């Protein structure tokens, strides 16, 4: 009798698991495009255009789920800096079926040819502040010796998303105002001309910001395609704060317009 009850219990459990699994699969929505930024002004335009179905909150960060220009999206403002960016992307990837991640926002310009309000599409990202600080000064080191990426730990974006972002940026701003290149990430707002030159010479950087490489690391770990796009609000020099105050919102909107054009162009 006990043996029959055990078999019956096992069959019931298996049947329930199967039914619940089928129901979950049937209810699972299409894979979302994850859109993430550091600051509110970097997603304001996107949220205004979006049809938001609901807002989830994890660790005091809001995740807006809905539809934007015909695409299912999850949009969030994770916060400033590498820790918050990594946390925001991880939370997004662990709670929603995300097919790809677009990180949008503003940055400081590093390359001479890139001007304020130009757009940088990151082909790769690097943590410029990761290393050893000794009596001999700062020595940059790889972000993760066992990571398996190219020497020097540059985190490569997804080629298809990079091209999609570049083409969209050219449509919005014109070819003369769009560049592809390395974006350097560190937990500092750079406003120093000498350090800008170092970022250019050491990493061949086009822009510097505070989140991109952290988001890249998480996306690579989770095998999720990603791209980082940055509009220049300043030149990361002694006038960076003033330039950011004057052009930050315009630059943020430019990047958002490029995201919208990307969504329009996704097949």
Catalytic member of 127, 209, 211, 234 = 234
Whether 119 is catalytic: no
Burial 80-104 (b: 16+ CB within 10 A, else e): bbbebbbbbbbbbbeebebebbbbb
Residue 16's alpha-carbon distances to 2, 4, 28, in angstroms, are 21, 18, 18
Whether 42 is catalytic: yes
Q: What six digits make up the tokens of 244?
A: 């950011």
Burial of 158 (0-12, 13-18, 19+ CB in 10 A): middle
Other beta carbons less than 10 A from residue 245's beta carbon: 11
Question: CA 162, CA 174: separation in Å to the nearest integer?
Answer: 16
CB 69 within 8 A of CB 46: no
The residues annotated as belonging to the active site are 42, 234
């Amino acid at each position: 009798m006990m043996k029959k009850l055990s078999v019956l219990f096992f069959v019931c459990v298996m049947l329930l698991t199967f039914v619940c699994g089928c129901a979950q699969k049937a209810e699972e929505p299409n894979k979302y495009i994850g859109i993430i930024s550091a600051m509110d002004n970097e997603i304001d335009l996107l949220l205004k255009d979006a049809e938001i179905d609901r807002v989830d909150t994890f660790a005091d960060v809001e995740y807006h789920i809905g539809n934007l220009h015909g695409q299912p999206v999850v949009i969030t403002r994770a916060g400033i800096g590498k820790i918050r960016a990594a946390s925001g992307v991880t939370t997004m990837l662990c709670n929603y079926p995300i097919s790809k991640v677009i990180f949008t926002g503003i940055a400081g310009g590093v390359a001479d040819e890139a001007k304020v309000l130009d757009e940088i599409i990151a082909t790769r990202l690097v943590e410029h502040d990761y290393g050893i600080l000794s009596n001999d000064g700062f020595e940059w080191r790889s972000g993760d010796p066992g990571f398996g990426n190219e020497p020097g730990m540059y985190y490569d974006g997804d080629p298809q998303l990079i091209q999609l972002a570049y083409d969209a940026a050219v449509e919005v701003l014109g070819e003369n105002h769009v560049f592809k290149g390395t974006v350097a990430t560190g937990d500092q707002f750079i406003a120093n001309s000498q350090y800008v030159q170092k970022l250019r010479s050491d990493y061949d950087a086009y822009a510097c910001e505070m989140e991109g490489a952290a988001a890249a690391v998480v996306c690579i770990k989770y095998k999720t395609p990603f791209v980082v796009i940055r509009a220049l609000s300043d030149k990361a020099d002694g006038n960076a704060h003033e330039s950011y105050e004057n052009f930050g919102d315009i630059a943020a909107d430019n990047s958002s317009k490029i995201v919208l054009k990307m969504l329009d162009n996704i097949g």
